[in-house]
Structure 1
Amino acid sequence: MSQRGPGGEPPYRRIAAQIRRRIELGELRPGDRVPSARQLTREHGIAIATATRVLALLRTEGWVLTRPGAGTVVAPGPAAPPRSRRGGDRAEPELSRERVVRTAIALADAGGLAAVSMRQIAAELDVATMSLYRHVRGRDELILAMADAALGDAPLPAGRPAGWRARLELLARAQWATYRRHRWLPHVISIARPQLIRHGMAHTEWALRATGGLRLDRQVRWHMAVTLIAYVRGIATNLEMRAQAEQDTGLTDDQWVDRQVGTFQQLMAAGGFATMATLTAEGDVELDLDSVFEFGLHRLLDGYAAQIAAAAGPTGGISPGR
């Protein structure tokens, strides 16, 4: 593993400076791909978390950007000079729990949960690592605070739409949108042992209230609420893997599938996949995470509607969508 350089410089800053120099010298030109996180781990003998910090720092400073289908590339035009962390006329804001949590979220958004450690947060804030423990007791508490803040950044609306189905659909779409912004978040949320975080509990409260007045017993209402939340989280766990694969390969999902056609055809020719071969021969299918989410959400709510209608009885007078 790489050690700190002269003056205690963290490895990720030293490696970022090397890439920055290559850009300044014109070795890497606008639009050129820069080494991926996995390439950096191989070339410099660093952990994947450190490699993601390299790219996150360059992205923050404006030297690179993530481009769908190309991975991380040199940004067009001259980048702004790096901002000094020490000195200058403007004093840094006082260290606070909010700053620690927000910095951790930024690290996770850029490089996943593996990029979040107390040492890396301290390096980002240019403070001593031990000073962070005055605001969070450790990484576990920090991760929960990150999840609570991420959910709190997109609060559910005060006004509720009419009908149980519209309310549950709104909740599911709000969670899906939050997971898309913070791809690490579904890996934090637990269904088996739900965390006691305020904004997470607000989502459960919303789901339970949506099925009020429908003649459903408490067992059914709890299961409906938790199953919906678990469904959205389950699909969302794939978002981070997809983004990492795109960054590492520089290929979109469609481009990757196109490159697998030859292997796919060989497997089909070997036999044993008659149904897949028949359906594939009928034409292409639009199948991605968003379409799977939409299809599954509607079918799940259709199932809820059937159970609600059965609970209402033949003379209940409750519409499946009310």
Structure 2
Amino acid sequence: MTGPVAPAGPPYARIASEIRRRIETGELRPGDRVPSTRAITQRWGVAMATASRVLAALRQEGLVRAVPGVGTVVCAVPSARRERNAAAAGAPPPATVPGQLVRAAVELADAEGAAALTMRRLGTELGVPTMSLYRHVAGKEQLVALMVDAVFGEEPLPEAHPPRGWRARLELSAALQWRLYGAHPWLAAAMNLHRPLLAPNGMRHIEWALAALEGTGLDAEARMHAAVSLFGYVRGHAVDLQPESAATRTSGVTAEQWMEAQQERMAATLADGSFPAFGAAAPAADLTPDSLFRFGLAAFLDGLAARMITMTP
């Protein structure tokens, strides 16, 4: 008697095949964490580079995605994949329309980052010729603008029943933006306040802030500066989310794990007393992206409130 024959191929392919089987059988469900690069090296006895190739292969297939602060998790089946499966089963694929094109582009950028988003790759995901996409968008620049607009439309501001007071309204707008940037790490880098995209759903946050600041004592110029500065603050704070997402995706090491691995080096740097203020404050500070966002937002709004007092006749 002989045991089962191991699947042929390089080590990374065999490991990816095993994890793929667990996903396809439902043992690993959408949202479940898959083994990290470190766990793969320990379980299968392979090098870190091999473990990274395992996760890269699964990401390329659209089976997993990196979630900042969580790790690599199983994806929900993207709409484009569902359509390809339906076509393979004999069902006619739906016509490619702008809305479907934008949704597929957002899913691809969410799963693999902005660098993976090309018209050729998008055509492959949708199962249509690349050139057919240009019937709906002039090019990638217009597509990105539509993606940004669609994403900002996911969580509309409560126009009918807004919070009371200018500060509560600005806090709500900033919190919604921050949440969208976290859900779509590519979003912040896709925008440029010096050359703003025409995205009406994003512009509504500026309109919301301007309306909230009416009657506060700020003149029109100050209100516009405050509204755009708030939008820029949230976007600027979120710019690090994309490289962090990419680093987690390629290495399997989360930001928290990376920081833990640097503790000895940090302690050695502080040991000689060259940074006394830093050394005194660091142990008491629990810094996270969310805590830094909240602190900066409160400081911004406090400063705005002080300016209102000075400008009030």
- Tell me if TM exceeds 0.5: yes
Greater RCO (Cα-Cα under 8 Å, separation 6 or more): 2
* Structure 1 runs (4+) greater than 6 angstroms displaced: 16-19, 67-70
Structure 1: runs of 5+ lacking an equivalent: 1-15, 45-50, 76-80, 314-322
Q: 2:292 maps to what in 1?
A: 292
Deviations 1:27-66 (A, max 9, x none): xx97544789x958x969xxxxxx968505342xxxx565
What is the rounded CA distance, in whole Å, between the counterparts of 1:284 and 1:110 in structure 2? 35
CA distance in 2, matches of 1:65, 1:201: 30
1:156 and 2:157 matched: yes
Aligned to 2:186: 184
Q: Is the 8 A contact 2:62 2:111 kept in 1?
A: no
Distance 2:62 2:247 in 1: 20
1:214 maps to a residue whose letter is T
The two structures have a TM-score, normalised by structure 2, of 0.77
Match of 2:146 in 1: 145
Shift of 1:157: 0.9
Specify every segment of 5 or more residues in structure 2 that has no aligned partner in the other structure, as ranges: 1-11, 29-33, 42-47, 76-80
- The counterpart of 2:226, out of the listed 224, 227, 230, is 224
Q: Equivalent residue for 1:136?
A: 137
Q: Which residue of 2 aligns with 1:318?
A: none
Matches of 2:311 and 2:20, distance apart in 1? 69
- TM normalised by structure 1 equals 0.75
1: CA distance, partners of 2:224 / 2:152: 21
Aligned counterpart, 2:31: none
In the alignment, the residues of structure 2 paired with residue 125 and residue 20 of structure 1 have an alpha-carbon distance, to the nearest angstrom, of: 24
Q: Percent identity?
A: 38
Using the alignment, how far apart are the partners of 2:67 and 2:307 within structure 1?
Answer: 45
3-state SS of 1:84 partner: helix
Q: For 1:184 and 1:85, how far apart are their aligned partners in 2?
A: 29
Distance between the aligned counterparts of 2:185 and 2:246, measured in 1? 10
Question: Size of the alignment, in residue pairs?
Answer: 278
Name the residue aligned to 1:319: none
**Cα pair 1:148 1:200 within 8 Å, conserved:** yes
Structure 1 residue identity aligned to 2:278: M
| Secondary structure of the structure 2 residue equivalent to 1:272 | coil
Cα-to-partner distance string for 1:158-190 (whole Å, 9 max, x where unaligned): 222211111111111111111111111111122
Q: How do 1:91-170 and structure 2 match up within 5 A?
A: 91-158=92-159, 159-170=161-172
- Counterpart of 1:290, as a letter, is D
Could you say if the C-alpha distance between residues 71 and 299 of structure 1 is closer, same or farther in structure 2, counting changes exceeding 3 Å? Answer: closer
